[in-house]
Structure 1
Amino acid sequence: MKFLYIEDQPLNTRILSLFVEQLWGEKLFCAETAEDGFDMLMEQDFDLVYMDINLPKMNGVDAVKYIRDVLKQPKLPIVMVSANTSENVIAKSYENGCRAYIKKPVKIGNLKEITEQVLKTDEIIPCI
């Protein structure tokens, strides 16, 4: 499996990298900005994208919409990973095409459960 995490905070990136390595034995590919993530998505195939909301320049909600509409990747699973618990932001994330929403701090069990569900089905997974 090949995962991309678009996140500008190195500590958060390191934590998720450790979780992905521990759970699936995979390297987590990382981008610090939405734009860098777009470049990676155009160059490589990923099985899933984890996306933070608060990114420099373009926020995660707009980035999901860009991936869907401009990069033409309607089926790529995107999971929001954010400390933002605003119901409005969560709703907008789903409206723009994310398939699941994990609140920070991320728990390894939640990451495993949500990731496996998103990879098995096209259904929307409720926020945890």
Structure 2
Amino acid sequence: MKILVVDDMPLMRHVMLNMLRRLEYTDVSEATDGEQAIELLQATKFDLLITDLNMPKMNGQELIDKIRAELKQANLAVLVVTCDDNKQTVLNLISAQIDGMMVKPFTLNTLKRQLQLVFSRRDKPPQ
């Protein structure tokens, strides 16, 4: 299981990477923004993208839209992490074909449940 974590805040990336490792996901890469994520996605096949929504240069919504439209990676599972839980944001994300969403702050158990949901929707075992 190859996972890409995208967040502009180093502390949040560090927390996410540590949580994933605690859940025994070891093949994890990181990107600081959507532009760097696109470069990594073009070079490497990932099974899951975990992205923050609010980032400079290219936000999470733009990243997801670009992945779906230009990179033709409809099969890439996407889990969005955000502090924005208003109704319009959620509707926009649903229309962007995401597989899951977590609102910051979240716990290890929340991440574990979301990963189980994402993989159950994708018919892939969560490792």
* TM-score normalised by structure 2 residue count: 0.91
1:35 partner SS:
helix
Equivalent AA in structure 2 for residue 63 of structure 1: L
Q: Distance in 2 between matches of 1:117 and 1:16?
A: 17
Matches within 5 A, 1:50-61: 50-61=50-61
2:67 corresponding residue in structure 1: 67
Count matched residues: 123
| Runs of 5+ consecutive residues of structure 2 not aligned to the other structure | none
Q: Secondary structure at the match of 1:78?
A: strand
Distance in 2 separating the partners of 1:40 and 1:25: 18
Which aligned pairs between 1:36-55 and structure 2 lie closer than 5 A? 36-55=36-55
Following TM superposition, where does structure 1 have runs of at least 4 consecutive aligned residues deviating by more than 4 angstroms?
A: none
Q: Does the Cα contact within 8 Å between 2:100 and 2:117 map onto a contact in 1? A: no
Gap regions ≥5 residues in structure 1: 124-128
**TM-superposed deviation, 1:120:** 2.6
Partner residue, 2:105: 105
The whole-number CA distance in structure 1 between the counterparts of 2:32 and 2:54 is 11
Q: Which amino acid aligns with 1:102?
A: M
For 1:46-87, what per-residue CA distance to the aligned partner results, in whole angstroms no more than 9, with x for missing partners? 110001111112211121111011000011100101111121
Percent identical across equivalent pairs?
Answer: 26
Name the TM-score, length of structure 1 as normaliser.
0.90
Q: 2:18, 2:122 → 1: CA distance?
A: 26
Question: Cα RMSD between the aligned structures?
Answer: 1.4
What are the superposed Cα offsets for residues 80-103 of structure 1, whole Å, 9 maximum, x if unpaired? 011111211111011112111110
